[in-house]
Amino acid sequence: MKIDVMPGDITKSDSDAIIINLFEGVTSPSGATGAVDKLLSNAISLLISDGEIKGKAGEMTLLHTMGRITPKRVLIAGLGKQTDFSTERIRSVAADSVRYLENIGVTEATTIAHGAGIGAQTAIDSGRAISEGALLGLYKFNKYKSAEQKADFNRLTIMESSDDKIRELRKGANEGVILAESVNMCRDMCNEPANGMTPSDMAEVALKVAKAQNLNLKVLERPQMKELGMGALLGVAQGSHEPPKFIIMSYEGDPDNQKNNIGLLGKGITFDSGGLDIKSAAGMSTMKSDMSGGASVISAMNAIGNLKPKINVTAIVPATENMPGGGAQRPGDVVKAMNGKTIEIDNTDAEGRLVLADAVAYANSIGLNRIIDVATLTGAISIALGNQCIGAFGNDQEFTNHVIESGNSVGERIWELPTFKEYEGQYSSDIADIKNTGGRGAGSITGALIINEFNASASWVHLDIAAMARTSKTSGVNIKGATGIPVRTLVKLVQNLGS
């Protein structure tokens, strides 16, 4: 879909439909909505007084203009209460509006800049949020459908009468396109069936991103991993016929200051059967998306390469399947990670922390002083937080706060959980340095702390996205299936640190 920003009067747009808005409680619309109302003989005001239009969040009202103005249709989008208004509401309004229009056969429309007037949002933020919302809200994964698809909505124009805002709207809209396209790349990877997104396929996607954005790429194969002592990752990989890949992407935004760096690490389990501690059939149904962390960091690098912040960024993805083949590791086995620490395998289905153990140790070895790892790590996080936010765990409060603020600012909410030292006793081992599980209690916390056992001294944050990587329904910017969370959080964090 193409997104344009144009100066002009929206009532004279030649689009099939125009999108305007209304705050809840407004009885006499002003601005662009007021101008349209006047030209339609106060039809909007009459519907407000009759109670048919309330302006509630998510409300959509379609009017046919019958030739009274150039556009054939007017869609009035409810913004909810003005006191609750935010850029996240703009995203949702943009997503809901274009989906509504597409469902009735409209393929192009013109919208006002939601929030850039009495909504008190900057033009840059409004343009960015509209682009993100529209592109994320119209996402589809139809690659494997053979039936002919109906025409897609293909063009959205943001029209603004104030020349002073045009430049900022364009800047915001362009950035929104970059972010949304990167999120949708992540969604594509996570929605692929496991036979279409193997570790080798993940490496191919990383190669395409690296070529497109002029990034450095290195992919370690099994012999190189063995030489580096990545026994934790190789232990997980040994039950699969698919070769593991250790993907390393790097962007140099501040080459003269190599200490100005951050590592984005993502769990890349392209299918998780549970290994010999095999999952139930229902438990395996969405395990093609167990590489969502890896997909998110690769996709974030696509946006980072485009936006060019002044910071050095390295993305690391330990990619493998976790399968119960004849060579699979067993409960009770002991493996040694790259940093020399030994791990007793208490449960083969606790594999994400094993591959990330070697990823974190590798990140330390190349001098990354800030690390954020992203993983669909534990089902326990959904028990703790439901499916409303990401769980965060860290060892540096200032860095953790940066991550949380970055997520909250883009609408990907994050909540910090404790990492008290007393939890460490839950994963002690009688025969090795640690076990790979800490029992039922505080499962998300012990999983995070096990990863940090392999971190020497870097500021570190772990994001458990297990409850947020997929959604079972379409709402706002999220489409049923993979969400692409937390690509925008990672990009915002890197932009903030590199500004």
Residues acting as catalytic residues:
279, 353
**229 within 8 A of 337, measured Cβ to Cβ:** yes
From the number of C-beta atoms within 10 Å of its C-beta (0-12, 13-18, 19+), residue 254 rates as: middle
**299 within 8 A of 189, measured Cβ to Cβ:** yes
CA 246/CA 200 separation, integer angstroms: 10
Other CB atoms within a 10 A radius of the CB of residue 358 amount to 27
Residue 183 tokens read as 């999120």
Cα distance from N-terminal residue to C-terminal residue, the chain: 30
Question: 267-296: string of b/e by CB count within 10 Å (b at 16+)?
Answer: bbbbbbbbbbbbbeeeebebbbbbbbbbbb
SS3 of 205, please? helix
CA distances from 206 to 211, 243, 254, 287, 295 (A): 9, 16, 22, 21, 9
Could you tell me where the beta strands, DSSP code E, fall in 39-182?
Answer: 60-64, 73-80, 108-111, 155-160
**275 within 8 A of 348, measured Cβ to Cβ:** yes
